[in-house]
Amino acid sequence: MGLSVKLKKKVNGFRLDVAWEIGNELAVLFGFSGAGKSITLQMIAGLLTPDDGFIRIDDTTMFDSSKRINVPSQKRHLGYVFQDLALFPHMTALNNILYGSNGLCKSEKRNRAGNMIDAFHLEGLEEKYPAELSGGQKQRVAFARALMRKPDILLLDEPFSALDNPLRIEMRQFLRDIKNRFDVPIVFVTHDITEAYSLANNLIVYSKGNVIQTGTPKDVCDNPLNSEVEMLINTKEPLHINP
Amino acid sequence: MFESSMLFSLRLSLQVAVVATSFIIIVGITVAYFLARRNFKGKEFLDMLFTLPLVLPPTVTGYYLIILFGRNGFIGKQIYACTGWSIMFTWYAAVLASFVVALPLMIKTTRAAIETVDKSLIHASYTLGHSEFETTLRVILPLAKKGIMAGVVLSFARALGEFGATLMLAGNIPGKTDTMPLAIYSLAGSGEWSQANGMVILLTLMSGIFLYLANRYSKRII
């Protein structure tokens, strides 16, 4: 299980050129806004086409510019939680979750949706519309929807950025639980070093369209490769080190 | 006599507007979707072409339609050669005229409504395994419903009141192609004011009530 990418892309004068791979772990793409983290996720998900390179999920090639392979987003079998969560405003929480079960038979859909509602503590909220849910509840619906199809990989684009601090910290434990329970590789994008440090098994540091260091959070913090990494990881103190 | 000819015009107008609007819904949504969601060469030119009937005098639009669909027109000639039938001076011609003149209102409002649907919702639907067509039916169109309804209402009202292009294409044949606007024109021309008054009031009331109800309905969506 895992993901390996090599991506080149020019968008509006910005150049992205990165290559990295991860196993069945929680990898964090960390860097300032505009470093190319989000467009990396979009390319992995097939929402944006790289100019050059490849994307492999579990050794299946999803994109390869030299072999002219480009699997459409629908067939990449991944879960994506968007920065604004992207819950469908015209569907109830339950229907949002059910929408994530494309390709399953009806009884299987109901069954799995029931499990998700249990797992994400959404009992009693099934018939509520997104506008009637709190920030944390919306968050849980978005994760339940993304995990309905048992994706091969889960991509998270700063999903906690809209929450206030106490809830954000709570969400970190929530994310670790998801990792354990669903046993799925996760790529998490954030520009918050505390979040990155406390969550990552593998930290991938982005700057201006390049990866400038990878390693465990401890490695990166103890041995920053250059002054830029050092500057990036010291932007917020103190660090909360996860046992 | 007054009653029956007035009823005929009323029924014909509604029939023409309903049929024209049905085609407008299908064609309008399809064209608006491609204009809103795709990038292709000549896109804005196509948009301009579809919008022209909105600003051209209806007689000019009617003139073009005669050139295309008249018995000696580019398309009309072929149809006549194959079937011996021509659309000119039939109620179908009134439908065609209403369709072409009212279509831009549907395309404009629907395109704008589709363009305002949040891109990340469309992307979310794709990553959840839904095809473009399914995403259109279950996400884009439901969220653009308000704008689409507004487009339908405006097109229907426009089709109901269509006069110039209809006159050119369908003529003004009593008991055959005289929709309410055409009948009013004839009545006013021959000085039959009392009958014209009746129709004018009826058409005004109908359009007003219809717009009012449709406004109320579209406010309830979302």
What CATH number does residue A26 fall under? 3.40.50.300
The ipTM value here is 0.89
Instruction: Looking at the structure, tell me whether residues A138 and A162 fall in a common domain.
Output: no
Instruction: Looking at the structure, tell me whether residues A112 and A138 fall in a common domain.
Output: yes
Confidence class for position B221, pLDDT limits 50, 70, 90:
very low
According to the model, what pLDDT value does residue A21 have? 93
Confidence class for position A168, pLDDT limits 50, 70, 90:
confident
Among the listed ranges A103-112, B86-95, B98-107, which one has the minimum average pLDDT value?
Answer: A103-112
Q: Cβ separation of A73 and B138 shorter than 8 Å?
A: no
pTM over 0.95: no
Read off the pLDDT of each residue in A81-107 and give the average, rounded to a whole number: 92
- A57 within domain boundaries: yes
| A9 interfacial to chain B (CB closer than 8 Å) | no
Buried b (16+ CB within 10 A) or exposed e, B98-109: bbbbbbbbbbbb
- Residue-wise pLDDT tens digits, A40-53: 999 999 999 999 99
Q: How far does the CA of residue B129 sit from the closest CA of chain A (Å)?
A: 4
- Residue-wise pLDDT tens digits, B138-157: 999 999 998 898 899 889 99
Q: How far does the CA of residue A113 sit from the closest CA of chain B (Å)?
A: 14
State which of A107, A131, A150 marks the end of a domain: A150
Instruction: Looking at the structure, tell me whether residues A19 and A36 fall in a common domain.
Output: yes
State which of A150, A181, A198 marks the end of a domain: A150
Q: How far does the CA of residue B114 sit from the closest CA of chain A (Å)?
A: 15
Considering only the beta carbons, identify the residue of A82, A145, A149 that sits closest to B120.
A82
According to the model, what pLDDT value does residue A243 have? 44
The domain of A191 spans 1-77+153-243
| pLDDT exceeds 60 at position B220 | no
- Residue-wise pLDDT tens digits, B163-183: 999 999 998 888 899 999 999
- Residue-wise pLDDT tens digits, A215-236: 998 888 888 888 888 888 776 5
Confidence class for position B214, pLDDT limits 50, 70, 90:
low
The domain of B118 spans 2-220
- A82 within domain boundaries: no
Supply the mean pLDDT for chain B: 90
Which residues in B lie closer than 8 A to residue A38 (C-beta atoms)?
none
Supply the mean pLDDT for chain A: 90
